[in-house]
Chains A and B, each alone.
Chain A
Amino acid sequence: METLTIVRLGGQMSAREQDFLEFVQAGGQVETSDWMPDEYRAKLIKFIEMHGNSELMGVLPEREWILRAPTLQRKLALTAKVQDEVGHSQLIYRVVEDLGKPRDQCLEDLISGKSKFHNVFHYPTKTWGDVGVIAWLVDAAAIISQKALLKCSYAPYARIMKKICWEESFHILHGRDVVLTMMNGTDEQRELVQEAVNRWWGPLMQFHGNPIPAEDDPMYQWRIKSQGNGEARQQFLDGYVPQIWELGLTVPDPKLRKNDDGVWEFSEPDWDELKHVVTGHGPKTEERLGLRRTTRDETAWVRRAVLAEAA
């Protein structure tokens, strides 16, 4: 049997932990009631919680556009999309709760800024062009990561990812439909799309995170993630840059090209901006967390009246 990479945990791994590591690296699946190393559980909770936070925060940039949707069909499709995202956060937080961290605690930590959510949800949405571009490209970037999570070693999470990926496929279709309709419309509508692409390109390129070698990434070692950040980004570019270009849209990166080896080259994303944003300093972070805080406070009485009762 091949020797497997040992994760540097800042201390010795016990034999039981080593067995567990070998188990997950060989493709083993872990259930809620199984024994797991403390580090695995902690990393899992943090990762999955961030996903739940992101789904919930992702609702906020989009929900205003439900109210402004220009046709009844778009209004319904967008409401359903946003509803899916809330539903995803419900599924995800349930998984976190069964791992040992209550949903209330997750929401408290989100609102206080203690836990994080993905960079893209810290930015403003300015036009209906954003609605199309988010559903088409931002969701596409997310779905690439999510498909990789179908192989997560923690089975309850892998299982809900199936439902999440299925529902996300509708979102991308909706996004494309919105964009194509605008691209086939007036000059003003095409300009809305181009302008949105220009604004979202930076955050999109940062979305998958800075590349970490697999041997240095505990998330990969524990098989929580099965795909590296660089690989995800390449997949995104490969899938979606052709889709962008074929509509006559441009990408605001003069260095973007696919080289002869099939690898996409691009300007180095702004990692400082990414760090700045995910640590709570994005243009809309304060306002959106503030909205969550206010509505949560205003509805606390409802949860007390309805959820706090003994079984």
Chain B
Amino acid sequence: MSERAQLLLPIADDELVLGWRNSEWTGIAPFLEEDVAFSSIAQNEIGHARALYQLAAEELGTTADELAFDRKPEEYRCSKFVELRLVPDWAKTIARHYLYEQSDERRIGALMESDDPEVAGLAAKIDREEAYHRMHAQMWFDRLQDEPRFIEAVDELRPLVDERGEHSAEFTELWGEMTMVRRSVAGATW
């Protein structure tokens, strides 16, 4: 697999799966204004995944959708951190959001320095959107930092941030649901 794909797939998979997990809150977030806001964050993440997949797909002779949906579970490169199903725990959800954005800032920052101008260009665009996510995460952190359950959640999740390896059973379930319509009629256009 090309160097570019190797570099981009873990990030794309993280964004896809995190976006998927965050969109599980759509319609049931703590209050309506936040429901709308958090849904935008989830959409942005999936949008980032799509753009990253598109870049990788060029190298691999495939399409973004095929990369997103048509791989076997063991071929995905997402971290265990993003796979965790956290609904309806808002403390853990925001803790993950906060920790992920911190870690992702470093990762995207490195991509912005890439010799590959397409990668660097896309990374800059993603970073400009992620700036808003970081603002949102900080806003929530400031509000919840006096809540013991939130601090506990941050402490509990922090060690998991960059853990990659075998996927959890949760991921297999996620993959099953994510691909069920697509697999129902093989090769169809939707």
A and B touch in the complex (CB under 8 A): yes
Give the interface of A toward B (CB within 8 A). Answer: 56, 59-60, 63, 65-72, 74-76, 79-80, 82-83, 85-87, 89-90, 93, 103, 127-128, 178, 181-182, 184-186, 188-189, 291-292, 294-295, 298-299, 301-303, 305-307
Q: In B13-40, which residues have CB < 8 Å from any A CB?
A: 20, 23-24, 26-33, 35-36, 39-40
Q: Check: B115 CB closer than 8 A to any chain A CB.
A: no
Complex Cα distance, B185 from A141, in Å, reads 30
Q: Which of B26, B32, B90 contacts A302 (CB 8 A)?
A: B90
Q: Is the CB of A86 within 8 A of B177?
A: no
> Are B26 and A182 in contact, with the CB atoms below 8 A?
no
Q: Which residues of B contact A302 (CB under 8 A)?
A: 30-31, 90
B185 touches A82 (CB 8 A): no
Closest to B69 in A: A70
Q: Are B42's CB and A79's CB within 8 A?
A: yes
Check if A76 sits within 8 Å of B46, measured CB to CB.
yes
Instruction: Write out, one digit per residue, whether chain B residues 74-102 have a CB within 8 A of any chain A CB (1) or not (0).
Output: 00000000000001111000000000000
B143 touches A89 (CB 8 A): no
Bound state CA distance, A290 and B149, in angstroms? 25
Contact status B88-A294, CB under 8 Å: yes
For residue A295, which residues in chain B have a CB less than 8 angstroms away from its CB? 28, 87-88
Query: A87 touches which one: B36, B49, B189 (CB < 8 A)?
Result: B36
Assembly CA distance A178 to B35 (angstroms): 25
Q: Whole-angstrom distance between the alpha carbons of A292 and B31 in the complex?
A: 12
Q: How far is the CB of B37 from chain A (nearest CB, A)?
A: 9
Provided the pairs A86-B39, A305-B144 are in contact, do residues A67 and B27 lie with their beta carbons within 8 angstroms? no
What CA separation (Å) do A303 and B49 show in the bound complex?
31
A294 to B69, CA, bound (A): 31
Can you list 16 A-B pairs with a CB-CB distance of less than 8 A? A59-B26, A63-B27, A65-B181, A67-B23, A68-B180, A72-B65, A76-B46, A79-B39, A79-B42, A86-B27, A89-B32, A90-B35, A299-B29, A299-B31, A306-B31, A306-B143
Q: Is B178's beta carbon under 8 Å from chain A?
A: yes
CA distance A301 to B182 in the complex (A): 38
List the A side residues contacting B23 at CB < 8 Å: 63, 66-67, 79
A190 to B: closest C-beta gap in Å? 11
B33 contact set on A, CB distance < 8 A:
90
The distance from the CB of B45 to the nearest CB of chain A, in whole angstroms, is 10
Main secondary structure of the interface of A (DSSP, over half): helix
Once the chains are docked, how many angstroms separate the CA of A189 from the CA of B26?
27
| B64 within 8 Å of A (CB atoms) | yes
A72 to chain B, nearest CB (A): 5
Instruction: Write the chain A residue with the least CB distance to B67.
Output: A72
With A79-B46, A128-B181 already in contact, the answer to whether A291 and B188 are too (CB < 8 A) is: no
Contact A292 B189, beta carbon cutoff 8 Å: no
Residue among A83, A85, A188 having the largest count of chain B Cβ atoms under 10 Å:
A83
- At the interface, yes or no: B134 with Cβ under 8 Å from chain A? no
Q: B185: which A residues are within 8 A, CB to CB? A: 185-186, 188-189
Given contacts A185-B185, A186-B185, A299-B88, whether A86 and B143 have CB atoms under 8 Å apart is no
| B39 contacts across to A, CB distance below 8 A | 79, 82-83, 86
* A302 and B92 alpha carbons, distance in the complex (Å): 12
Known pairs A67-B20, A186-B188, A294-B88. 17 more at Cβ < 8 A?
A63-B27, A66-B26, A67-B23, A68-B178, A71-B69, A71-B182, A75-B46, A79-B39, A83-B26, A83-B36, A83-B39, A86-B27, A181-B190, A184-B189, A298-B89, A302-B30, A303-B30
Task: List residues of chain A with CB within 8 A of the CB of B31.
Answer: 299, 302-303, 306-307
Interface string of B166-178 (1 = CB under 8 A from A): 0000000000011
Report the separation of the CA atoms of residues A60 and B177 in the bound assembly, to the nearest whole angstrom. 16
Q: For residue A298, which residues in chain B have a CB less than 8 angstroms away from its CB?
A: 88-90
Contact with A along B85-126 (1 / 0, CB 8 A): 001111000000000000000000000000000000000000
Residue numbers in B under 8 Å from A83 (CB-CB): 26, 35-36, 39-40, 43
The 7 A-B pairs of least Cβ separation, nearest first, read A59-B27, A302-B30, A299-B30, A70-B182, A90-B32, A298-B88, A70-B190
With the chains together, A295 CA to B32 CA distance in Å? 13
A64 to B42, CA, bound (A): 15
Chain B residues with CB below 8 A from A89, complex form: 32
- Write the chain B residue with the least CB distance to A87: B36
Residues of B within 8 A of A87 (CB): 32, 36
